[in-house]
């Protein structure tokens, strides 16, 4: 089992959710986060004064998947979140040692 974490632009969330749904992914966790990478933020004008916005709003998705679905999930996220511009985001894949459904006590892939 793997945990796929993706940081994407907020306006791409619905596109990514739909793409994941099409391949059979039924559960994701979404968090609103802030951060920056190569973008290093940007400057904005407010009441005539310039100021730097260092941390840009992003959305973090976390999806627990069986090993066989990892490549499909990654491909779906890339295809649906890509704008071709800087700041499209990142995908991280980590191993999951155990998953347990609290309600039923199921373990492993049946708990996903």
Each residue of 5-39: pLDDT tens digit? Answer: 999 999 999 999 999 999 999 899 999 998 877 76
Please, are residues 61 and 8 in contact by the beta-carbon 8 Å criterion?
yes
Mean pLDDT, rounded, of the chain: 91
Q: Give 109's contacts (C-beta < 8 A, 6+ positions apart).
A: 1, 66, 99
For the entire predicted model, the pTM comes to 0.85
Identify the bridge partners of residue 6 per DSSP, sorted by sequence position. 61, 91
Pick the more confident residue, 12 or 40. Answer: 12
Which position has the higher pLDDT, 48 or 105?
Answer: 105
Structure tokens at 6: 């993706």
Q: How far is CA 62 from the centre of its chain?
A: 6
Q: How far apart are CA 15 and CA 11, in angstroms?
A: 8
Got the DSSP string for 7-33?
A: EE-GGGHHHHHHHHHHTT----EEEEE
CATH T-level fold of 2-111: Alpha-Beta Plaits (3.30.70)
Distance, CA of 86 to CA of 11 (rounded, Å): 15
């Amino acid at each position: 089992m793997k945990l796929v974490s993706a940081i994407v632009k907020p306006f791409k969330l619905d596109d990514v959710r739909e793409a994941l749904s099409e391949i059979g992914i039924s559960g994701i966790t979404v968090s609103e986060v802030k951060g920056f990478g190569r973008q290093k933020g940007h400057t904005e004008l407010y009441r005539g004064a310039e100021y730097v916005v260092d941390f840009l709003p992003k959305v973090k998705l976390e999806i627990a998947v069986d090993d066989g679905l990892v490549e499909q999930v990654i491909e779906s996220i890339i295809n649906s979140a890509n704008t071709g511009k800087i700041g499209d985001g990142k995908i991280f894949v980590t191993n999951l040692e155990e998953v347990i459904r609290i309600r039923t006590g199921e373990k492993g892939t049946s708990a996903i």
